[in-house]
Amino acid sequence: MQAFNPYLPSWEYIPDGEPYVFGERVYVYGSHDRFNGALFCLNDYVCWSAPVNDLGSWTCSGVIYRKNQDPMNRLGLRILFAPDVTRGPDGRYYLYYAFDFLGVMGVAVCDTPDGQYEFYGHVHYADGTVWGRRKGDEFPFDPGVLTDDDGRVWLYSGFETPVPAVMSRFRGHRNSGCVVLELEQDMVTIKEGPRLVLPLKTNHPPEDFKGHEFFEASSIRKIDGRYVLVYSSTNNHELCYAVSDRPDGDFRFGGTLVDQGDLYLHGNTDEARAANYLGNTHGGMVQLRGDWYIFYHRQTNQHSYSRQACAEKLERTPDGHFLQAEVTSCGLNGGPLKGEGLYSAGIACNLWSKEGTARYDRKFNKKIHPYLTQDRKDDDHDAIQYIANMKDGSVAGFKYFDLHHPSCIRVSVGGVCEGSVEVSSRPDFGEVLARVSVRSSGSRIWMSASMKEVDSIQPLYFRYSGEGAIEFYAFEIK
What pLDDT, on the 0 to 100 scale, is given for residue 171?
66
Establish if 460 belongs to a structural domain.
yes
Establish if 12 belongs to a structural domain.
no
Cα–Cα distances in angstroms (integers) from residue 350 to residues 5, 8, 216, 442, in the given order: 11, 18, 25, 25
| 72 and 139 housed in the same domain | yes
Contacts of 79 by beta carbon, 8 Å cutoff, 6+ apart: 39, 40, 41, 42, 67, 99, 100
Give the domain extent around 396.
Answer: 338-477
Establish if 6 belongs to a structural domain.
no
| 291 and 388 housed in the same domain | no
Residue 224 designated active-site: no
The closest of 242, 326, 313 to 276, measured between CA atoms, is: 326
Contacts of 225 by beta carbon, 8 Å cutoff, 6+ apart: 245
Whole-number Å distance between alpha carbons of 16 and 27 = 13
Establish if 320 belongs to a structural domain.
yes
| 69 and 208 housed in the same domain | yes
Are 97 and 108 in contact by the 8 Å Cβ rule? The answer is: yes
| 293 and 419 housed in the same domain | no
Establish if 86 belongs to a structural domain.
yes
- CB neighbours (10 Å) of residue 195? 13
Q: Which residues of the chain have pLDDT under 50?
A: none
| 164 and 75 housed in the same domain | yes
Establish if 7 belongs to a structural domain.
no
Alpha helices in 137-254 (DSSP H): 165-168
What pLDDT, on the 0 to 100 scale, is given for residue 169?
67
What pLDDT, on the 0 to 100 scale, is given for residue 84?
98
Catalytic residue among 142, 213, 216, 422: 216
Cα–Cα distances in angstroms (integers) from residue 35 to residues 40, 343, 364, 424, in the given order: 10, 21, 19, 31
Whole-number Å distance between alpha carbons of 278 and 297 = 11
Q: Which CATH number belongs to the domain containing residue 233 in this structure? A: 2.115.10.20
Catalytic residue among 16, 138, 160, 248: 16
Domain boundary among 335, 368, 387: 335
Domain boundary among 305, 320, 335: 335
The closest of 6, 17, 11, 81 to 43, measured between CA atoms, is: 81
**How many domains in the chain?**
2
DSSP 3-state helix, strand, coil percentages of the chain (rounded to 5)? 5, 50, 45
| 93 and 122 housed in the same domain | yes
| 453 and 373 housed in the same domain | yes
Instruction: Tell me how far apart the 2 most distant CA atoms of the chain are, in Å.
Output: 74
Residue 250 designated active-site: no
Whole-number Å distance between alpha carbons of 275 and 204 = 32
The three-class DSSP label of residue 45 is strand
Stated pTM of the model = 0.97
| 242 and 359 housed in the same domain | no
Whole-number Å distance between alpha carbons of 260 and 283 = 12
| 326 and 221 housed in the same domain | yes
Q: How far apart are the first and last CA of the chain?
A: 19
The closest of 285, 266, 283 to 326, measured between CA atoms, is: 266
- CB neighbours (10 Å) of residue 250? 13
What pLDDT, on the 0 to 100 scale, is given for residue 239?
98
| 136 and 183 housed in the same domain | yes
Measured in degrees and rounded to the nearest 5, phi and psi for residue 71 equal: -60, -25
The three-class DSSP label of residue 234 is coil
Whole-number Å distance between alpha carbons of 299 and 360 = 9
Domain boundary among 335, 363, 380: 335
Establish if 113 belongs to a structural domain.
yes
The closest of 289, 117, 319, 149 to 221, measured between CA atoms, is: 149
| 395 and 442 housed in the same domain | yes
Q: Which CATH number belongs to the domain containing residue 469 in this structure? A: 2.60.120.260
Are 172 and 137 in contact by the 8 Å Cβ rule? The answer is: yes
The closest of 469, 468, 451, 471 to 460, measured between CA atoms, is: 451
Are 269 and 290 in contact by the 8 Å Cβ rule? The answer is: no
The closest of 385, 393, 349, 348 to 369, measured between CA atoms, is: 393
Establish if 1 belongs to a structural domain.
no
| 284 and 196 housed in the same domain | yes
